[in-house]
Structure 1
Amino acid sequence: MELTTMKTLDAKTTVSRSRGLKLAALMLGSSLLLAGCASTPPSEQYAVTQSAVNSAISAGGTEFAPVEMKSAQDKLKQAEFAMHDEDYEKARRLAEQAEWDARLAERKAEAAKAERALQDARQGVQELREEGMRNAQ
C-alpha cells in the first residue's frame, strides 16, 4: 500500500512540476513578445489612423461630428509626439483610440447625411401630394 501511495505522489509531483515549467515558459515567451512589440514604432497603425481621419474628414465629420473629429485629430497628434519620444506603446494606444474616434465621426456624418436625404425625400413627397391635391380640385 505504501509503495502505491508513493508512486502516485511521485506521478502527481512530476505532472505538477511539468505544468509549472510550461506555464513559466509561456509567461516568459509572452513577456518577450510584448517587450518586442513595445520597442517597434506603430507605423502601420499610424498610417491606418491617418487614413481613417482623412476618410472621416471627406465624409463630413468636421461638420456633422465635430467633437469626435477634434478628439481623433488631437489623439493622432499626441500619438505623433509619443512616437517622436519613442514611447511606442503610448503611441500605439493613442493611434488606436484616434482611429476609433475617426470611424465614429465618419459613421455619424454618414448617418446625418442619410437623415438629411430622408427629410428631403419626405418633403418632396409632401410637396407632390399637395400639388396633386391642388390639381384634383
Structure 2
Amino acid sequence: MIYRRLCAVLLPLILSACASDPAPTEQLRLTEQALSQTQALGVTAEQSQALRQAEEKLALAQAALLEEDYKQARVYAEQAELDARLAEAEHLTEKSQQQLAELSNSINRLRKQLGGL
C-alpha cells in the first residue's frame, strides 16, 4: 500500500525530470549567425534598437544557459534571433527606400531634360 502511494508520487517527478529541456545549442548558433549577418551589412547597435535588443537578449540567453535554465535560454535566444532579423529587415528596407528615392530623382531629371527638348 505504501509502495503504491510512493510510486504514485515519485513517478510523475521522475518522468518530468527526464522530459526536461535540452540545451538550446542549435538555437544559440542560429541566433549568433543572424547577428553576424546583420552586422555584416554594416548595422551597429548604436544605429539599430532592434540589434541592440538582440545582443542584450543573446547575453541573457547565454547567462540562462550557464544557469542550466534551458527553457529560458531558448526563449531569449529565439527572441534575439527575431530581433536580429528585424534589424536586418529594417536596414534593407531603408536601403531600398534610399535607392527608390535616387531612382525617382533620376527619372524626374530625365523628364525635365526631355521636356526642354
Q: Could you tell me which runs of 5 or more consecutive residues in structure 1 were left unpaired when the two chains were aligned.
A: 1-27
Q: How does 1:82-121 map to 2 (within 5 A)?
A: 82-121=64-103
Which of 2, 14, 19 lines up with 1:36 in the alignment?
19
Query: By how many angstroms is 1:62 displaced?
Result: 3.0
TM-score, reference length from structure 1: 0.66
User: What one-letter code is carried by the residue in structure 2 that aligns with 1:57?
Assistant: Q
| Percent identity of paired positions between Structure 1 and Structure 2 | 31
Query: By how many angstroms is 1:85 displaced?
Result: 1.6
Asked if 1:57 corresponds to 2:39, the answer is yes
Name the CA distance, whole Å, in 2 between partners of 1:110 and 1:61.
Answer: 10
Name the CA distance, whole Å, in 1 between partners of 2:43 and 2:93.
Answer: 11
Indicate the residue corresponding to 1:127 in structure 2: 109
Name the CA distance, whole Å, in 2 between partners of 1:60 and 1:35.
Answer: 44
* C-alpha RMSD of the superposition: 2.3
Q: How does 1:65-76 map to 2 (within 5 A)?
A: 66-76=48-58
* Larger helix share, 1 or 2: 1
Name the CA distance, whole Å, in 1 between partners of 2:66 and 2:114.
Answer: 66
Indicate the residue corresponding to 1:77 in structure 2: 59
Moved more, 116-125 or 102-111: 102-111
Indicate the residue corresponding to 1:17 in structure 2: none
What is the CA deviation profile of residues 55-85 of structure 1, one whole-angstrom value per residue up to 9, with x for unaligned ones? 122234438x611010001101111111112
Query: By how many angstroms is 1:47 displaced?
Result: 0.2
Q: Could you tell me which runs of 5 or more consecutive residues in structure 2 were left unpaired when the two chains were aligned.
A: 1-11
Name the CA distance, whole Å, in 2 between partners of 1:111 and 1:66.
Answer: 13
Query: By how many angstroms is 1:37 displaced?
Result: 4.4
